[in-house]
C-alpha cells in the first residue's frame, strides 16, 4: 500500500474564512477521494478528485463550498470555503491505484470552526 500525507493535521479557524487541505501520496494513483467525518459519525464521501478535470461531487456537496484540485497523479487539495461551525469535522483523503486494489487513507485533518 502507499502512504498518504495530509496537511495540516488539525486547525482551528474563524467562521467566514477558508482552509485548504493538502493530500500527498507517495506513489502515483488513479483515483483520489475526499471524505468528511462529522463528530461521532461515519465517513461521508464529498467528491472524487479527477486529474486534470473538475471533481465529481456527491449529492449535498457543491464546488463553491468545497473546491478541489488535482494537478497530477500524486497530489490533491480540498478547500473548505466560507466556514461555519457546522463544518467542524475530520476531513480525510483517500486514494487507490485501481478498482481491483484496496483504498488507503490519510490520517485526516481535524478542523474546528469557531
Partner 1 sequence: DAKTTQPTSMDCAEGRAANLPCNHSTISGNEYVYWYRQIHSQGPQYIIHGLKNNETNEMASLIITEDRKSSTLILPHATLRDTAVYYCIVFNAGGTSYGKLTFGQGTILTVHP
25 neighbors 2 (Cβ within 8 angstroms): yes
Note whether 73 binds partner 1 by CB under 8 A. Answer: no
CA 38 to the chain's CA centroid = 13
Residues comprising the chain, all counted? 114
**CA nearest neighbour of 46 among 56, 31, 34:** 34
The per-residue b/e assignment along 28-42, b for 16 or more CB within 10 angstroms, e otherwise, is ebebbbbbbeeeeee
Select from 5, 18, 20, 30 the one that contacts partner 1 (CB under 8 A): 30
The region of 14-22, 62-70, 81-89, 100-108 touching partner 1 under the rule CB under 8 A is 100-108
The region of 13-21, 64-72, 74-82, 98-106 touching partner 1 under the rule CB under 8 A is 98-106
Note whether 61 binds partner 1 by CB under 8 A. Answer: no
Binding site residues, partner 1, CB under 8 A:
1, 4, 30-31, 33, 35, 42-45, 48, 56, 92, 94, 96, 98-100, 102-108, 110
Amino acid at each position: 500500500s502507499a502512504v498518504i500525507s495530509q496537511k495540516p493535521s488539525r486547525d482551528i479557524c474563524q467562521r467566514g474564512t477558508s482552509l485548504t487541505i493538502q493530500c500527498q501520496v507517495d506513489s502515483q494513483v488513479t483515483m483520489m477521494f475526499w471524505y468528511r467525518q462529522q463528530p461521532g459519525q461515519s465517513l461521508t464521501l464529498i467528491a472524487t478528485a479527477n486529474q486534470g478535470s473538475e471533481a465529481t461531487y456527491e449529492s449535498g456537496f457543491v464546488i463553491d463550498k468545497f473546491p478541489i484540485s488535482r494537478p497530477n497523479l500524486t497530489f490533491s487539495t480540498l478547500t473548505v470555503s466560507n466556514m461555519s461551525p457546522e463544518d467542524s469535522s475530520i476531513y480525510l483523503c483517500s486514494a487507490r491505484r485501481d478498482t481491483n486494489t484496496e483504498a488507503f487513507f490519510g490520517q485526516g485533518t481535524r478542523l474546528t470552526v469557531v
